[in-house]
Amino acid sequence: MPEGYLYHARALYATGNTAGAEADIKKAIEFAPSNSTGYLLLAEFRLRQHKEDEAEKLYAQVLSISPSDVSALGGMVNIDLEHKDLAKALNAVQTQVGKAPSSSGMYYLLGQLEMRNQDTPKAEAALQKAIDLDKKNVAATMLLASIAVSKGQTQAAIDDYKRALGSNPRDVRLYVALGGVLEAQNQWQEAQTNYQKALDIQPDYPVAANNLAYLMLTHGENLNVAFTLAQTARKGLPNLPNSADTLGWAYYNQGVYSAAIDLFQEAIKGDPKNASYHYHLGMAYEKQAKNALANKEFQVALQINPNFANAGDARKLLGQSQPN
């Protein structure tokens, strides 16, 4: 069975035995020359060896065997993009779409490239075709909806997500994305409902936990639940500034200002241009009567974005608190 040789090849390659790995791949190809998996794995190895010309030929060989193989086409496209040849990548995908017109994945890849090419109408058409061919192509739906949001067509994005959820009712990504659009429209209660639905399906899904925690803290809901959700988010996203800020805000609301300050500082280190993080840090300093430090953070927040969500509060606090 060729699969056994391919599994063994990966294991050998991981231990540094390149020659043994390639011998196994060649055995797999010998036993199943019409199976594209061996050529794909060999192409992957060639890329790691910086032999891109050989990898490209292998990808082409895969596509000659299996015209709808998105992995092979994606590999070719990545090589072209690495060489900053978008036109070549687009041509390759358009050609292959003609050979495999029923491949949802290829239309999705075409949509991505048309976005890079800044041709939004063509991108939208390709992504819609990908969805028409496969209602479970969630990635295509999410990209199409993000285009709608960027054009100010919020309701179209909401409709896209809701249609996709009809075919993919247990995909947590869709609930979180829909929640994000609703939250941006200040429909926070419906956003909260969608974040909760994601957590009902996957209780440790960190993005949903983070977003729901922050909404609960913002709107004065159950502090203990919000704190637990913020901890879940931080555990799942330990390097994300946003999760540090959310957990910091949870500590702030519990009156644990020292812990909050540490987390806000960590968030700012990861994203120094985020006005809200500086505002939160200023709020924590203000609670500790470190007014000079608080004022500095409020000023930085307003310099970054004079119209951020809490800009009015920051200006009021600057007028109220006097440096020590």
Cβ partners under 8 Å of residue 159, min gap 6: none
Per the CB < 8 A criterion, the answer to whether 67 and 100 are in contact is yes
The predicted pLDDT at position 319 comes to: 79
Tell me how far apart the alpha carbons of residues 133 and 324 are, in angstroms, rounded to a whole number.
65
Q: How far is CA 7 from the centre of its chain?
A: 29
Q: Among the ranges 1-10, 14-23, 101-110, which has the highest mean pLDDT value? A: 101-110
The predicted pLDDT at position 136 comes to: 96
* Confidence band for 2, pLDDT divided at 50, 70 and 90: confident
Q: What's the mean per-residue pLDDT of the chain?
A: 95
The predicted pLDDT at position 1 comes to: 83
Tell me how far apart the alpha carbons of residues 93 and 105 are, in angstroms, rounded to a whole number.
11
**pLDDT value at 120 more than 50:** yes
- Segment 183-225, tens digit of pLDDT: 999 999 999 999 999 999 999 999 999 999 999 999 988 999 9
What count of other Cβ atoms lies within 10 Å of the Cβ of residue 292? Answer: 11
Tell me how far apart the alpha carbons of residues 170 and 23 are, in angstroms, rounded to a whole number.
42
Q: How large is the angle between the packed helices 188-201 and 206-218, nearest 10 degrees?
A: 150
Tell me how far apart the alpha carbons of residues 97 and 100 are, in angstroms, rounded to a whole number.
5
The predicted pLDDT at position 78 comes to: 96
The predicted pLDDT at position 144 comes to: 97
What integer is the mean pLDDT of 112-135? 97
| Identical topology for domains 1-101 and 102-167 | yes
Contacts by 301-305 with C-beta closer than 8 Å and gap 24+?
301/275, 301/276, 302/275, 304/273, 304/274, 304/275, 304/278, 305/275
The predicted pLDDT at position 53 comes to: 94
The predicted pLDDT at position 324 comes to: 44
Whether this prediction's pTM lies above 0.85 is answered by yes
What integer is the mean pLDDT of 55-61? 95
What count of other Cβ atoms lies within 10 Å of the Cβ of residue 323? Answer: 10
CATH says 102-167 is which class?
mainly alpha
What integer is the mean pLDDT of 23-32? 91
**pLDDT value at 322 more than 50:** no
The predicted pLDDT at position 323 comes to: 44
Superfamily of domain 1-101: Tetratricopeptide repeat domain (1.25.40.10)
DSSP 103: -
What integer is the mean pLDDT of 223-246? 97
Which residue ranges make up each domain of the chain? 1-101, 102-167
The predicted pLDDT at position 321 comes to: 47
**pLDDT value at 86 more than 70:** yes
Give the three-state DSSP class for 137.
coil
Per the CB < 8 A criterion, the answer to whether 106 and 97 are in contact is yes
* Confidence band for 320, pLDDT divided at 50, 70 and 90: low
The predicted pLDDT at position 139 comes to: 97
- Segment 159-177, tens digit of pLDDT: 999 999 999 999 999 999 9
